[in-house]
Structure 1
């Protein structure tokens, strides 16, 4: 499950209780959290889910990304920052079982031992939110694709393309990918941008006439050979758009009396690479009760402005 928890539940009444409630309803093995504002918040949420659940977050002053699980972290229990890591041949098996790796400012990764004996490499990701691509794509004054792509790649590490490049070229992540036949790899999170699989010739009329190869998802699929689990299960982009943005942000903003439509799109993902696992179901989740849009959202039962994404996997009989 990947779940943007919208400022640690602070945008609705009893938000942290509701975050825990909906994780318990789904009862996933592992959850990638985004918008984790502090360790105290994720600690409280994890305690509300149940005593068997544990958590991991980054070490920065604003960690933002966390991982919670009802299984066993194979680490020392606290994330540590590693850059320019020099791996030995033995490290190529993976990066060891005593450390958790943070990759730059966008992702954290760890190994988790599931109760069925399978170890997985799990990475939680939250890419930059600024210069949201669909805003430019739907602007009638934008006439060149280069104008849209300037928001995806500004030449630095602090944009979506740069952050994804930082991940896929990270030595520890590459070691995990190279060993994915033995240890399945997951990258889950809020990419704050659409998929290149979704903006093609089939539905360009719904996207302002544009066909866009959004670089973050494209890098992950082409450079790391990972698979988008939702789109694997739901290949028809017209029948199953899978929009995760947004549950409540339907119009923006109050300056226009909430009459300007907010572009809706699929920006939250569960990617995987493994010969041992096969996705059997993937769906978006926004709770079981009707959702009231902003500005009347405070009492919503579901606490996020993003739909969560959930994918079920079967273990294959592989010799």
Structure 2
């Protein structure tokens, strides 16, 4: 009898060990679910002061689109009031909680996930600020950028100066409108800004970074992925094909343009963010005799196993071209919050990123 009991005990112990080993193997091959993150870049046009009840309008757009992280540009903190605190309170009054941080410059960030650190990377004509965001067990770096507005060289092919010496029409000796189409001249003019220094400062700040990185904001410069051979006769490019330095430099450093990654065809999905229709305002165009529509607000990312799973424009379908509101080339694009009262001369962009 004792032998039988001993044998039965041995069998049970071995069976238990076998089951434990199987459970351990199953746990080892369990793959965690990817984390989806909705991020939005939003130029709020002098923090909403250019329209009536601008702060409420910005709040309503955030409530309607429900982003996880929003970077704001043109944050001024007028009257020494922290604008970021004000928008957080407006959202909380509607039952929605975000973390928020103004660290300096003219940008700020709100996030549904904790912001654990911040650092001003560049502060001059515009700014770049980095934030660490705790996304569950992962830390990601989110940088908000508002690049220099001067030397807006994409106006030159459109027969306008880009701020130097002014924003007027370019005319030849006979008084006729005269576009600049020489790429070297355009790039030389582009260097009148500090955008290249700002991008260089950002890249230098993340040289040793191992966490995923998101860079978003208003670049005041188009994309090399939009001024292509295919688009050479669109939007008054006047045949110019050019590698705009800010986006091209990021591309060379391994950054991915989230919107253009999801919509690779620049003709069907131009992603125009400027100049937008504004509720209760007249034209926001700076080149009333030209078509200046462009994509100058971006979301870039870099890191292993990240992909764009959705991308949308946020704001009205209408933009200004030749000083008239038009919706051409928008038929295949997605829009959110397009029926709300829009408070900015820029449209916002929102993408969903999947972190595996």
Q: TM-score range by the shorter chain?
A: 0.7 to 0.9
Q: Is the aligned partner of 1:210 residue 2:240?
A: yes
Matching residue within 112, 118, 125 for 2:138: 118
Quote the offset at 1:13 in angstroms.
0.8
Maintained 8 Å contact 2:43/2:74: yes
Q: Which residue of 1 aligns with 2:97?
A: 52
Q: State the 1:259 CA deviation.
A: 4.9
Write out per-residue CA displacement over residues 133-182 of structure 1, whole angstroms, 9 at most, x where no aligned residue: 2211212342422221123223xxx5212211221123xx2122xx1xxx
Q: Does 1:144 align with 2:182?
A: yes
The correspondence for 1:163, drawn from 195, 198, 204, is 198
Alpha carbons of structure 1 residues 292 and 244: separation in structure 2 relative to 1, 3 Å: closer
Match of 2:336 in 1: none
Task: Classify the secondary structure of the residue corresponding to 1:36.
Answer: coil
Equivalenced residue count is: 269
1:40: Cα distance to partner? 2.0
What is the DSSP-based 3-state SS (H/G/I as helix, E as strand, rest coil) of the residue aligned with 2:180? coil
Q: Distance in 1 between matches of 2:296 and 2:320?
A: 21
Match of 2:58 in 1: 19
Unaligned runs of 5+ in 2: 1-39, 160-177, 326-339
Which residue in the other structure is 2:168 paired with? none
Q: In the TM superposition, what whole-angstrom CA distance separates every residue of 1:75-113 from its partner, at most 9, and x where no partner exists?
A: 3xxxxxxxxxxxxxxxxxxxxxxxx21112221001111
Q: Distance in 2 between matches of 1:109 and 1:16?
A: 24
Q: In the alignment, which residue of structure 1 is the partner of 2:171?
A: none
Instruction: Compute the displacement of 1:262 (Å).
Output: 4.7
What is the SS of the residue equivalent to 2:273?
Answer: coil
Contact (CA 8 Å) 2:44, 2:344: kept in 1 or not? yes
In the aligned structure 2, how far is the partner of 1:125 from the partner of 1:259? 28
Aligned partner of 2:271 in structure 1 is: 242
Looking at structure 1, the residues matched to 112 and 128 of structure 2 have their Cα atoms a distance apart, in angstroms, of: 20
Q: Which residue matches 2:23? A: none
Structure number, greater radius of gyration: 2
Query: How much has 1:263 moved relative to structure 2?
Result: 0.2
Shift of the 259–108 alpha-carbon distance from structure 1 to 2, 3 Å rule, reads closer
CA distance in 2, matches of 1:239, 1:123: 29
Equivalents in 2 of 1:295, 1:230: separation in Å? 26
Alpha-carbon distance in 2 for matches of 1:259, 1:277: 41
Instruction: Name the residue aligned to 1:79.
Output: none
- RMSD, aligned α-carbons: 2.5
2:348 counterpart residue number: 308
Aligned 8 A contact 2:219 2:296 in 1: yes
TM-score between the two structures when normalised by the length of structure 1: 0.78
Secondary structure at the aligned position of 2:233 is classed as: helix
Query: TM-score, normalised on structure 2?
Result: 0.70
| CA shift in 2, pair 1:295/1:55, >3 Å | farther
Instruction: Determine helix, strand or coil for the equivalent of 1:104.
Output: strand
2:229 equivalent to 1:201: yes
Deviations 1:206-246, CA, capped at 9 Å, x for gaps: 211100110000111113x1100000000011111001112
Task: Structure 1: give runs of 5+ residues left out of the alignment.
Answer: 76-99
- Determine helix, strand or coil for the equivalent of 2:101: strand
Say yes or no: does 1:174 pair with 2:203: no
Deviation at 1:290, TM superposition (A): 7.5
User: 1:6 maps to what in 2?
Assistant: 45
